[in-house]
């Protein structure tokens, strides 16, 4: 567990960046799990003889009179993250304790490592660029199978997702509309990844592929120039100007800050894994079928999110298409961290409380 927490700390280096979040807290009694799917078929038609899905859990499943788990919560991490990201103190210490919204004495919390991430099957295991080209649909479908056959959970009290997990929340709501009581997507838009968002992802992919040291994915040492470019652009994507100005108010402080951040981020990256991270969103677009979502939705973005800028007006256009949705745009403040506000539970905790109350099933 200490090794896993150290890995989480490395991933946590770039404040508010898409795949860098705060370190996991050490005091939560998580349990490791592994579920293997034989001959998993991806949306591209590619197959993997064994798809390993690693996950953590907190709390204890409760079963109703019919034997069904009725207190499970699925918590989904962001691009390049892992199953420890949402055990960060800024998230877990605000939500998981006694009397808190996701009190682990009341709820059974499930934290999956998505395909290509953490300790689940990924390109860096050995297949490199021959690894199946997964997408968000594959991730959600594999999560669904893991829940049903691995954990014997056929219904969820809540799905809460951050960034990529936010996007997966919308996919979940459309694909399995009766599987959950509530959805809380944090920091995303339910529409095709286009415009500047896709441009930035495409630049990250091309920066790696065009580095001669990448060698079509068969490198023996990481292509460091490409990884530096990836880390730099990722930092910009997740940046929060107000916060970073306060963290580095002088030229020297700014240079020292970014040198340290980039060094730690680069050390955590694998080039092939990164290509797959960014490309997984290539065909994401839940916008045509948002009306299929049945569960109450509390959708929260922040106004200083560079990846999902509010001035596009996309959220205001799409939210009315979701039958039971509330869209919240958190204003910029000393408490927000740009895109990374999704992991600062104190900022939006009251909206989670509201959602849980609204979606609670009343006794018959």
Residue 272 inside a domain? The answer is no
| Full domain range(s) for residue 32 | 2-195+279-359
Question: Which pLDDT score, from 0 to 100, does residue 10 have?
Answer: 33
Asked if the model's pLDDT at residue 67 lies above 70, the reply is yes
Question: Which pLDDT score, from 0 to 100, does residue 31 have?
Answer: 96
**Sign (positive or negative) of CA dihedral 308, 311, 313, 315:** positive
CA angle 334, 92, 157 (to 5 degrees): 115
% of the chain at pLDDT higher than 90: 91
SS3 label, residue 332: coil
The CATH number of residue 13's host domain is 3.40.50.1820
Calculate mean pLDDT across residues 343-358. 98
Q: Mean pLDDT over all residues of the chain?
A: 92
d(Cα 105, Cα 166) in Å, to the nearest integer?
25
Question: Which pLDDT score, from 0 to 100, does residue 27 have?
Answer: 86
Look up the pTM and report it: 0.93
Question: Which pLDDT score, from 0 to 100, does residue 361 have?
Answer: 74
d(Cα 226, Cα 204) in Å, to the nearest integer?
8
Calculate mean pLDDT across residues 108-137. 98
Residue 229 inside a domain? The answer is no
For residue 72, report the phi and psi dihedrals to the nearest 5 degrees. Answer: -85, 140
Residue 342 inside a domain? The answer is yes
Domain count of the fold of the chain:
1
d(Cα 22, Cα 20) in Å, to the nearest integer?
7
Calculate mean pLDDT across residues 228-252. 95
Residue 264 inside a domain? The answer is no
pLDDT digits (tens, 9 = 90+) for 298-346: 999 999 999 999 999 999 999 999 999 999 999 999 999 999 999 999 9
- Residue 92 near residue 149 (C-beta atoms within 8 A): no
CA angle 156, 182, 347 (to 5 degrees): 115
Question: Which pLDDT score, from 0 to 100, does residue 25 have?
Answer: 55
Residue 161 inside a domain? The answer is yes
Residue 82 inside a domain? The answer is yes
Calculate mean pLDDT across residues 148-153. 97
Residue 253 inside a domain? The answer is no
Residue 273 inside a domain? The answer is no
pLDDT digits (tens, 9 = 90+) for 151-185: 999 999 999 999 999 999 999 999 999 999 999 99
Calculate mean pLDDT across residues 14-18. 42
Asked if the model's pLDDT at residue 7 lies above 90, the reply is no
């Amino acid at each position: 567990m200490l090794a896993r927490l150290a890995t989480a700390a490395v991933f946590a280096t770039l404040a508010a960046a898409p795949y860098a979040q705060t370190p996991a807290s050490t005091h939560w009694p998580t349990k490791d799990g592994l579920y293997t799917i034989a001959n998993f078929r991806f949306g591209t038609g590619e197959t993997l003889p064994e798809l390993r899905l690693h996950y953590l859990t907190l709390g204890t499943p409760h079963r109703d009179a019919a034997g069904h788990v009725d207190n499970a919560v699925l918590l989904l991490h962001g691009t390049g993250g892992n199953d420890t990201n949402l055990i960060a103190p800024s998230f877990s210490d605000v939500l998981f304790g006694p009397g808190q919204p996701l009190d682990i004495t009341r709820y059974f919390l499930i934290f999956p490592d998505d395909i290509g991430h953490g300790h689940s099957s990924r390109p860096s295991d050995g297949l490199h660029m021959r690894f199946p080209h997964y997408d968000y649909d594959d991730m959600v479908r594999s999560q669904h199978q893991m829940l049903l056959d691995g954990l014997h959970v056929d219904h969820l009290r809540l799905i809460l997702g951050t960034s990529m997990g936010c996007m997966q929340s919308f996919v979940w709501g459309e694909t399995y509309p009766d599987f959950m009581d509530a959805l809380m997507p944090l920091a995303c838009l339910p529409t095709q990844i286009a415009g500047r968002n896709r441009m930035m992802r495409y630049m990250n992919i091309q920066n790696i592929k065009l580095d001669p040291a990448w060698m079509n994915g068969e490198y023996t040492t990481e292509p460091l120039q490409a990884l530096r470019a990836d880390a730099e652009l990722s930092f910009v994507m997740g940046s929060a100007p107000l916060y970073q100005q306060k963290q580095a108010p002088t030229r020297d402080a700014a240079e020292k800050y970014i040198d340290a951040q980039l060094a730690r981020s680069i050390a955590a990256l694998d080039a092939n894994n990164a290509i797959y991270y960014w490309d997984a969103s290539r065909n994401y677009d839940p916008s045509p079928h948002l009306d299929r979502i049945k569960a109450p939705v509390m959708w929260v973005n922040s106004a200083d999110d560079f990846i999902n800028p509010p001035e596009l007006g996309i959220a205001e256009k799409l939210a009315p298409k979701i039958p039971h949705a509330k869209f919240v745009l958190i204003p910029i403040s000393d408490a927000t961290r740009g895109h990374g506000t999704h992991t600062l539970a104190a900022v939006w905790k009251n909206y989670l409380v509201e959602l849980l109350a609204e979606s609670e099933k009343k006794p018959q």
